[in-house]
A and B are shown apart, each in its own frame.
Chain A
Amino acid sequence: MWRVEVALKTGITDAYGNSVRKQIIEDLRVNVDSVQVIDVYTVNANLTHEQIGVVARDLLTDPITQEYKINEGFDRPFTVAIEVGFKPGVTDNVGATTVEGIEDLLGTKFSDAESVHTSKLYLLAGKVSQDEAEKICTGLLANPLIERYQIWKVGENIQVTAKKIVFQAQAKDFKPAVAEVDLDVSEDELMEISRKGVLSLNLEEMRLIRDYFKDALVLAEREKVGLGTKPTDVELEMLAQTWSEHCKHKIFNAQITYTEDGQTQEIDSLFKTYIRKATEEIGKHKDWLVSVFVDNAGVVEFDDAHNMVFKVETHNHPSALDPYGGAVTGIVGVNRDPMGTGLGADLIFNTDVFCFGPPDFDYDKLPASVLHPKRIFRGVRKGVQDGGNKIGIPTVNGAILFDEAYVYNPLVYCGTGGLMKKEIAGKPSHIKTVNSGDLIVMVGGRIGKDGIHGATFSSVALDEETSSAAVQIGAPIVQRKMQDALKEAREAGLYNAITDDGAGGLSSSVGEMSEFSGGCEVDLEKAPTKYPGLQPWELWVSESQERMTVAVPPQKIDEFLDLCRRRDVEATVVGTFTDSGKVHVKYDGKTVLYLNSQFVHKGLPGLKLIANWRPILEPEPSLKSDLAETLERILASFNVCSKEWVIRQYDHEVQGASVVKPLVGVKNDGPSDAAIIRPLVDSNRGIAVSNGINPKYGEIDTYWMAASAIDEAVRNIVAVGGDPDRIAILDNFCWGNPIYSEANPDGDHKLAQLVRAAKGCYDAAVGLGTPFISGKDSFHNEYRLENKTIAIPPTLLISAFAIIPDVERAVTMDAKSAGDIVYALGQTFDELGGSHYYMIGGVKGNRVPEVNVETALKLYRALYKAIQDGLVASCHDCSEGGIAVAAAETAFAGGLGIRFEIGKMPAVGEMDDAKILFSESNSRFVVTVNPQKVQAFEAALAGCAFARVGEVTADSKFVAIGKDGKPAIDIDIDKLKEAWQRPLRW
């Protein structure tokens, strides 16, 4: 075994070391003078001294900036040294690449027993105590769930005492074993089986499974394949996975008895009654819906020859435990949804929305088992960077919200859009066919233990003892290779169907695809593994990343496998699709699972739940404050402030399709409302992408939260020039546990909040004509701390994408020229409940913004027409912080002043200056128009609520004249911009 250390030569800036130092000082409040980072490669291979010398010199070291030592250390001073590396079995991407690099260099092949492990050695100088060193490890450098660390004091010899890496057990005496589980037990014991096995099955489901294994016909058939009367662990695991909340959306499909104001209503599935129903209603008048709710992502028409695809996922629990790995896995995971839709789409954009605890959350209030919000934020951001940038998909749109409610349960939403030709090899691309006799081929990564029980784990609340088995780290390059190879295979027509191995692994992908043909027969021992020692049930349900399952007709299998081989992508035939009506899984020829397809997929009984709406309304406050200072404070609030620090670290240019970027304006730093991309270089047709989310409103009423989120997503699209009649939306519900029990006494209210949100979704979507095409729900976002359960506030993300027929017509939010006329579009109401104005005043209020879909849609269509006709210079959506924030952002993004009169705003009812400025009423915009186009613009908006309120000025002053005719706000735009940029300028 060799240990190679690679360090920067003296005099070379250690950029990484410097950023670590900055984080130690700022985040952990420990003073260190300097940090040097040394890369350590532990090469566990049979190499000669000469060979390792060549490897160190020609592969591991940059001759210009670095130097190396083999089996000895650099003589560099430190007071504390810390080495951090992955625990055995955790994905080490750099280690794997190093193996490939060594093989290229030496022309050799590593054996299964040989490997490379990477770690980082941090040399800290300055006064650092042992306690502080420990804090630096656990608080910043190492995540004990997946990483090991070692600390040395000055004078200790690192190389001699460095712990040898414990390699994965070379399970020589591994014996695959299949356990039978006796379900003929008491009900308490049934539940114990479910709980202990992390099956997340409820009593009724356990009973149903027990009864299935008493059916005489079933038992007779089992006997023929050599199985007994008890289910195997493989079978139980498959049922738990297939019937999991994650895969079956049991809560959204439940029978709900809902009570509000003494009125009771029976709802047979929120999904069918409100979400799908909305799409069905809207679909009567839209001819561009192609495939909705049935595949991994929703599909709508892009142009005559292409369809576009969009899916948004959540990856909350894993991101709470390992923010980096969780986020990488989230992004590469959602990539596989469009890749696995129909015959597979090309991936053209990513979106990310995060909800975190406040980055300035008091460290002393944080339980030891919870990572600090700032660390989660940094880790997730890095994960999305590596997931998105490395795979080469532009991250074009997103949002970041902060609230103490997310300290224990951060939310990480990742979305991916795709484009697919309508026809591939003469067949409609959105339709999967699986024929009996097609081969089941697993493509991409290998199976490990690093992804067991993700599907069922997502139905469990986190607590202080949560295990790391569900945590894994994505390997973006493995996926990118697979993606490229599968694209070639698709264009050559080498497969009939494709789906991703996401939650539930092979059990899910093969199970779902076998529904098309009517059955399958799998030889599990053929599935390649990362290391020996995986039991059959683990092979079947492991969620190891970067895998897809494809159905390949036998006559094309040679060509398919040859293509994969030439692209360095592993592809393995693991079985055959059949029409037997059975899911049949074998290991070494012996049957380990034999279930009726019908039972697996349709056998799940529906839940019956109760929901009671018990709103708690706070009184409406009356606040008095200095308006300029208030505006600055809202601009500087974490939710509203500039996210440039994050946005710049994402590649939003790759693929060259960018038309409206996330940052716009005279200095390329204003906040864009939505992104526009032009996916085909020779066509002017574009796609606009946006989102809407505001959990603050949900604390008052989830109905209006849902309607507001839809309206926000839609008006963001309209603000950049997207066609309001060509918008499709996706819903992502993140909730606490909405199932009432003694341990969860307000479960019925959480469910009622869900019911009201679903109703709001229906009404707003139908009213605005925006069909849902796909969605996702994540419940159990709760944390058990001692005896308390902390749940997130109901959070609904609406993601939208739309057509803009000609990208040349797009507008951005920055004011363009002095002298342009400023308009306020849409009515302002006394709606400050959940507003940022109230938030910074420490109150919530109760008059939450509502949506009038008729007037909104009328305005959106009129504005769209005006933008199409080239009448609009800038357009900015009003959301958090209201008109004041929208107008201020318009001004400073354009580097220009704005002067307007509050009294001229279209407003309903008696409101003071503050309320008009900061009300968050929906369906409003701040628009600037060239004076020569004023007449045409006003004509285009005829019949809508709008008013000419002021003008763009050259003097860089933001002036709002109050109702009394005096300046209510008069402040320099640079001051406002600084307030807005400072908080997250890390």
Chain B
Amino acid sequence: MVINLSEKPKVLVLLAAGINRDRDAEDAFRLAGSEPERVHINDIADGRKKLKDYQILMLPGGFSFGDDIASGKVLANKLKYKLKDDLMQFIADGKLVLGVCNGFQVMVKLGILPGFDGNYMKQDVTLTHNDSGKFEDRWVYLKVNPDSKCIFTRGVEKLIYMPICHGEGKFIPRDDGVLKRLQDSNQVVVQYVDENGKFGIYPINPNGSVDHIAGICDESGRVFGMMPHPENYILRTQHPRWTREDLPDKGDGLVLFKNAVSYIKESF
């Protein structure tokens, strides 16, 4: 598919019951130079909107279906039973999928992450209750894996800083084999570290994630999910210490959205 270069890439920000960071994601994608649209899952299921008309799919944060049973589980099943074919085609077309927080939880429970061997419907990892037993809103530093194929973090060398806001963000792989494969294939994209880039225990690793993992991508690097919220650090004044530190105008999170937009412009 070819899009007119003068057109802005189109982003579908998926809405469902309990999704609540849709506007935040919309703001970030708009600021990054794309054209986001918030679309309800039912409007895709009944054909009013078509996934194929967009180049980026954003699964935003929130509490889809209240996180009842387990976070992201019910929405993952809905995607599986209502939109599986559209979703597989979207990924096969070389387009981008980003999931943040609840969106990431949905992606791992659906299985599109880590998506080993192109099997996007097998759950190999999970996100579960923080070791602290608490929901927490706290800012964290992330180290980006320079060898990862992840499109969203291309060129990001320094540590990035942004908030987590979750109760179920502890990353657990099925077993050591899965962990090793994630590491070896550089699908581990971002990890929790301290301000000097060192790993640590709580609160540096805020939820007890195995191998400090905050976000992973699929083998292609085009499907990416993370627990922290890049969309909540796009402006300088969102930083918790902007009144006392010299900071650039735009927040660390914006680059992830800009990378996605540039990639679509290059590739389509």
Closest to A651 in B: B165
Are the C-beta atoms of B126 and A65 separated by less than 8 Å?
yes
Asked if B220 is an interface residue, CB under 8 A from chain A, the answer is: no
Q: Which of B21, B61, B128, B165 contacts A65 (CB 8 A)?
A: B128
Distance (Å) between the CB of B208 and the closest chain A CB?
7
Number of contact residues on A: which range applies? 35 or more
Are the C-beta atoms of A653 and B126 separated by less than 8 Å?
no
Distance (Å) between the CB of B203 and the closest chain A CB?
9
> What sequence of 0s and 1s flags, for each residue 461-472 of chain A, a beta carbon within 8 Å of any chain B beta carbon?
000000000000
* Given A566-B42, A654-B165, A101 and B133 contact (CB-CB distance below 8 Å): no
Q: Which residues of B contact A105 (CB under 8 A)?
A: 77, 81
Are the C-beta atoms of B23 and A655 separated by less than 8 Å?
yes
Segment touching B, from A54-62, A269-277, A331-339, A428-436: A54-62
Asked if B24 is an interface residue, CB under 8 A from chain A, the answer is: yes
The distance in angstroms between the C-alpha atoms of A60 and B69, with both chains bound, is 6
> What sequence of 0s and 1s flags, for each residue 355-394 of chain A, a beta carbon within 8 Å of any chain B beta carbon?
0000000000000000000000000000001000111100
The distance in angstroms between the C-alpha atoms of A64 and B129, with both chains bound, is 13
Are the C-beta atoms of A807 and B78 separated by less than 8 Å?
no
Are the C-beta atoms of A566 and B137 separated by less than 8 Å?
no
Are the C-beta atoms of B240 and A663 separated by less than 8 Å?
yes
Are the C-beta atoms of B43 and A566 separated by less than 8 Å?
yes
CB within 8 Å of B: which A62-76 residues? 62-65
Asked if A100 is an interface residue, CB under 8 A from chain B, the answer is: yes
User: Which residue, of A101, A807, A814, has the highest number of chain B Cβ atoms within 10 A?
Assistant: A101
Distance (Å) between the CB of A439 and the closest chain B CB?
24
Are the C-beta atoms of A97 and B43 separated by less than 8 Å?
no
Asked if B89 is an interface residue, CB under 8 A from chain A, the answer is: no
Distance (Å) between the CB of A90 and the closest chain B CB?
15
* Given A64-B173, A568-B17, A812-B244, A101 and B73 contact (CB-CB distance below 8 Å): yes
Asked if A93 is an interface residue, CB under 8 A from chain B, the answer is: yes
* Given A65-B128, A97-B69, A656-B234, A649 and B135 contact (CB-CB distance below 8 Å): yes
Distance (Å) between the CB of B113 and the closest chain A CB?
13
Q: How many inter-chain contacts with C-beta < 8 Å in the A-B complex?
A: 182
Asked if A648 is an interface residue, CB under 8 A from chain B, the answer is: yes
Are the C-beta atoms of B63 and A389 separated by less than 8 Å?
yes
Asked if A246 is an interface residue, CB under 8 A from chain B, the answer is: no
Asked if A51 is an interface residue, CB under 8 A from chain B, the answer is: no
Q: Which residues of A contact B51 (CB under 8 A)?
A: none
Q: Which of A59, A65, A476, A649 contacts B66 (CB 8 A)?
A: A476
Distance (Å) between the CB of B217 and the closest chain A CB?
19
Asked if A855 is an interface residue, CB under 8 A from chain B, the answer is: no
Q: Which of A480, A658, A664, A808 contacts B18 (CB 8 A)?
A: A480
Q: Which residues of A contact B194 (CB under 8 A)?
A: none
Segment touching B, from A10-18, A547-555, A601-609: A10-18
Distance (Å) between the CB of B138 and the closest chain A CB?
6
Are the C-beta atoms of A477 and B65 separated by less than 8 Å?
yes
Closest to A475 in B: B66
Are the C-beta atoms of B133 and A19 separated by less than 8 Å?
yes
Are the C-beta atoms of A16 and B18 separated by less than 8 Å?
no
Asked if B243 is an interface residue, CB under 8 A from chain A, the answer is: yes
Are the C-beta atoms of B235 and A568 separated by less than 8 Å?
no
Asked if A715 is an interface residue, CB under 8 A from chain B, the answer is: no
* Given A105-B77, A808-B237, A100 and B172 contact (CB-CB distance below 8 Å): no
Closest to A476 in B: B66
* Given A64-B123, A568-B42, A93 and B78 contact (CB-CB distance below 8 Å): no
The distance in angstroms between the C-alpha atoms of A811 and B243, with both chains bound, is 6
Q: How many residues of B contact A (CB 8 A)?
A: 65
Are the C-beta atoms of A664 and B17 separated by less than 8 Å?
no
Are the C-beta atoms of A566 and B66 separated by less than 8 Å?
no
Asked if A816 is an interface residue, CB under 8 A from chain B, the answer is: yes
Asked if A492 is an interface residue, CB under 8 A from chain B, the answer is: no
Q: Which residues of A contact B172 (CB under 8 A)?
A: 12, 64-65
Asked if A214 is an interface residue, CB under 8 A from chain B, the answer is: no
Q: Which residues of B contact A481 (CB under 8 A)?
A: 17-18
Asked if B186 is an interface residue, CB under 8 A from chain A, the answer is: no
Are the C-beta atoms of A62 and B126 separated by less than 8 Å?
yes
Are the C-beta atoms of B62 and A63 separated by less than 8 Å?
no
Asked if B20 is an interface residue, CB under 8 A from chain A, the answer is: yes
Closest to A64 in B: B126
Distance (Å) between the CB of A584 and the closest chain B CB?
36
The distance in angstroms between the C-alpha atoms of A661 and B238, with both chains bound, is 9
Q: Which residues of B contact A665 (CB under 8 A)?
A: 241, 244
Asked if B119 is an interface residue, CB under 8 A from chain A, the answer is: no
Closest to B48 in A: A566
Distance (Å) between the CB of A555 and the closest chain B CB?
22
Asked if A678 is an interface residue, CB under 8 A from chain B, the answer is: yes
Closest to A95 in B: B68
User: Which residue, of B65, B109, B173, has the highest number of chain A Cβ atoms within 10 A?
Assistant: B65
Q: Which residues of B contact A96 (CB under 8 A)?
A: 68
Asked if B232 is an interface residue, CB under 8 A from chain A, the answer is: yes
CB within 8 Å of B: which A36-64 residues? 58-60, 62-64
Asked if A659 is an interface residue, CB under 8 A from chain B, the answer is: yes
Asked if A650 is an interface residue, CB under 8 A from chain B, the answer is: yes
Are the C-beta atoms of B74 and A64 separated by less than 8 Å?
no
The distance in angstroms between the C-alpha atoms of A27 and B58, with both chains bound, is 43
* Given A64-B174, A65-B172, A648-B138, A94 and B66 contact (CB-CB distance below 8 Å): yes
Closest to A389 in B: B135
> What sequence of 0s and 1s flags, for each residue 663-699 of chain A, a beta carbon within 8 Å of any chain B beta carbon?
1111010000000001001000000000000000000
Are the C-beta atoms of A104 and B77 separated by less than 8 Å?
yes
The distance in angstroms between the C-alpha atoms of A663 and B203, with both chains bound, is 16
* Given A104-B74, A389-B63, A477-B17, A16 and B243 contact (CB-CB distance below 8 Å): no
Asked if A652 is an interface residue, CB under 8 A from chain B, the answer is: yes
Asked if B212 is an interface residue, CB under 8 A from chain A, the answer is: no
The distance in angstroms between the C-alpha atoms of A63 and B78, with both chains bound, is 18
Asked if B229 is an interface residue, CB under 8 A from chain A, the answer is: yes
CB within 8 Å of A: which B125-157 residues? 125-126, 128-139
Q: Which residues of A contact B240 (CB under 8 A)?
A: 661, 663-664, 668
Asked if B70 is an interface residue, CB under 8 A from chain A, the answer is: yes
* Given A94-B68, A391-B20, A649-B136, A104 and B78 contact (CB-CB distance below 8 Å): yes
Q: Which residues of A contact B241 (CB under 8 A)?
A: 664-666, 668
Asked if B112 is an interface residue, CB under 8 A from chain A, the answer is: no
The distance in angstroms between the C-alpha atoms of A659 and B237, with both chains bound, is 5
Asked if A963 is an interface residue, CB under 8 A from chain B, the answer is: no
Are the C-beta atoms of B15 and A15 separated by less than 8 Å?
no
Q: Which residues of B contact A660 (CB under 8 A)?
A: 243
Asked if A484 is an interface residue, CB under 8 A from chain B, the answer is: yes
* Given A94-B69, A104-B78, A392 and B20 contact (CB-CB distance below 8 Å): yes
Are the C-beta atoms of A480 and B17 separated by less than 8 Å?
yes
User: Which residue, of A59, A105, A389, A567, has the highest number of chain B Cβ atoms within 10 A?
Assistant: A389
Closest to B238 in A: A658
CB within 8 Å of A: which B218-268 residues? 229, 231-232, 234-235, 237-238, 240-241, 243-244
Q: Which residues of A contact B133 (CB under 8 A)?
A: 15-16, 18-19
- A-B contact sample (11 more), CB < 8 A, given A65-B126, A101-B65: A12-B172, A15-B130, A64-B128, A65-B128, A93-B66, A97-B68, A476-B63, A480-B18, A566-B43, A648-B138, A649-B137
Chain A residues near B (Cβ < 8 Å): 12-13, 15-16, 18-19, 58-60, 62-65, 93-94, 96-98, 100-101, 104-105, 107, 385, 389-392, 475-477, 480-481, 484, 566-568, 647-656, 658-661, 663-666, 668, 678, 681, 807-808, 810-812, 814, 816, 894
Chain B residues near A (Cβ < 8 Å): 15, 17-21, 23-24, 27-28, 31, 40, 42-43, 46, 61-63, 65-70, 73-74, 77-78, 81-82, 109, 123-126, 128-139, 163, 165, 170, 172-174, 208, 229, 231-232, 234-235, 237-238, 240-241, 243-244
Task: Supply 16 A–B pairs (Cβ within 8 Å), ascending by A.
Answer: A62-B73, A62-B128, A64-B128, A64-B174, A104-B74, A104-B81, A477-B17, A477-B18, A481-B17, A653-B238, A658-B232, A660-B243, A664-B240, A668-B138, A668-B240, A678-B237
The 8 A-B residue pairs with the shortest CB-CB distance in the complex, in nearest-first order: A392-B20, A97-B68, A19-B133, A64-B126, A15-B133, A656-B24, A94-B68, A15-B129
